[in-house]
Amino acid sequence: MRRVRLFAYTLVIVCAGAGAAQAANKLQDIYDERELTALQPRYERGWRDNYDNVVSPKFTPAERARFANVRFHLERRIPDSEPFGFMAGGDDVFASTASLKFLEEITLAHTWLDMSGLSTQSLGDYLMMLRYWDVRRGRAPKPLEALCVPDTSKIDPKIVERATQSFDETALFVLLHEYGHAYYRHPGNAQVPPATSRANEQAADAFALDMFTRLKQPPIGVAILFFMMTHLQENRADYPSDEAYQSSLTGRTHPVSPERLQAFARNLTAQIGTYSQSFRNAQASVMNLALQVMQLSYLLGDQGIQRLSSRIGRTVSPIDLAPRPKGRHLSPACGSRPASNLAFDGTLRGTMMAGRTDFALDLVLDQNRDAVTGSFSYGAGYGRLEGKVSNASLSYRWKLSGDAGAGVLTLQGDTYRGTWGTGDSATNGGTSEVKKER
């Protein structure tokens, strides 16, 4: 069987002079026209070659007859749809070069972080940052630049190969999903009630998955697509009521819901036997993918987690996205100067107590003489602080989302101990104990 290979990697970090409609305008111009113009012919050749030689031979007679009149269009951008510029209508299937490039970069970032032993949460935080990006801050940063991913020539070839395979599988799934809409002649999601829209999305997913079973190739990389969608899409916490949230779903080109993700996972596991005919570890790979998708469905349906993601998205900045070890919330910003020997300059890690609960706490501080500024996180958003040093103590004010307060941190030996509080108090919140990372 010919392995699906849609697009060879061409990613180079170029320094340039949403599901949810709310995200679309913010990401419409994330890539320059010259980047997209250069990529468009390569993406189109990749899809048409695989459609003609790999995909269409697996169509049933009924599908072949239906798709004989369906035309594929690869645009540079699709207005008001980025970064999910994929759609079908009547006898036309549309895809966006900008959306494919964004998906390609997200895939490489996720693969590089994961295979390098780094936390993929920084990628989730990046996507949630884009969800709330204020255009007054300028153009939203591109994925690879924001996450400090090296040029592919500097990455282990095994990582690039894994990322390429994941992107190929994901791009194939996305395009087959749109052909599923064309096959069933689904109207646009904005033209039908939310329940019908969700049912249509599940039917298109099922069509794409059925094509993968015919190819005997499980879409392992698709987990990254749903990771991207669930982090970038606005959720229940962004609306004053459930009714307002449900109403917002009608404006989404690619609504993702817990029910859709669960249906995808069930459909996938039902086909394990077919995939097992292709390669030995298919069962473990497919079960792992199904588990990842089910976990995303639970996160999408948990209002507490939705509120947390909203808080993170509203407080995170590009300086907070530097690669960090698993279990950490912050690392020094990419390209920042090395920490000095000043007591409150550098990265501090430890714990903070809030009532009877302790949280892992990370601080990245910058000391200039007796003035200190910095960022902190304990996993519930990104806060900022500023203060002054006197002897071995830092007295500071902090802000995190709509909360604010004061605190004191004192160096005792090689350990920093202190208290923090809300409002004007530096003690009514709890305690902290951290050490400087050498």
CATH number at residue 351: 2.40.128.120
The answer as to whether 16 is a domain residue is no
The yes-or-no verdict on residue 1 having pLDDT over 90 is no
Q: In this structure, is the dihedral angle defined by the CA atoms of residues 126, 131, 136 and 142, taken in order, positive or negative?
A: positive
The C-alpha atoms of residue 277 and residue 283 are separated, in whole angstroms, by 10
Report yes or no on 6 lying in a domain: no
In this structure, are 143 and 292 located in the same domain?
A: yes
Rounded Cα distance between 55 and 20, Å, is: 30
pLDDT at 392 over 80: yes
Residues 299 and 377 in one domain: no
Whether residues 232 and 361 share a domain: the answer is no
Q: Is residue 12 part of a domain?
A: no
- Residue 112 domain boundaries: 21-320
Convert the pLDDT of each residue in 140-171 to its tens digit: 999 999 999 999 989 999 999 999 999 999 99
My answer on whether 369 and 305 are in the same domain is no
231, 294: one domain: yes
pTM of the model: 0.90
Give the separation between CA 279 and CA 1, rounded to whole angstroms: 12
Cβ proximity of 372 and 387 under 8 Å: yes
Distance CA 258, CA 293 (A): 9
Kindly report the backbone phi and psi dihedral angles of residue 84, in degrees, each rounded to the nearest multiple of 5, phi listed first: -115, 55
13-17, 65-69, 74-78, 289-293: range with lowest mean pLDDT: 13-17
Among the ranges given (245-259, 265-279, 418-432), the one the predictor scored with the smallest mean pLDDT: 245-259
User: What total number of domains does the chain contain?
Assistant: 2
Residues 265 and 382 in one domain: no
Both 261 and 387 in one domain: the answer is: no
Report the chain's mean pLDDT, rounded to a whole number. 89
- Residue 338, domain member (yes or no): no
Q: Could you read off the pLDDT of 360-371 as tens digits, one per residue?
A: 999 999 999 999
Asked if 295 and 373 sit in the same domain, the reply is no
**Do both 45 and 109 map to the same domain?**
yes
**pLDDT band for position 252 (50/70/90)?**
low
Cβ atoms of residues 122 and 147 within 8 Å: yes
**How many other C-beta atoms lie within 10 A of the C-beta of residue 314?**
16
Asked whether residue 205 is assigned to any structural domain, the reply reads: yes
Q: CA 384 → CA 89, 365, 366, 401, 430, distances in Å?
A: 47, 10, 12, 9, 18
Rounded Cα distance, 426 and 428, in Å: 6
Same-domain pairing of 354 and 312: no
Please indicate, yes or no, if residue 194 is contained in any of the structural domains: yes
Asked whether residue 426 is domain-assigned, the answer is: yes
pLDDT digits (tens, 9 = 90+) for 369-381: 999 999 999 999 9
Residues 135 and 46 in one domain: yes
Better-scored residue on pLDDT, 210 or 196 = 210
Q: Is residue 43 part of a domain?
A: yes
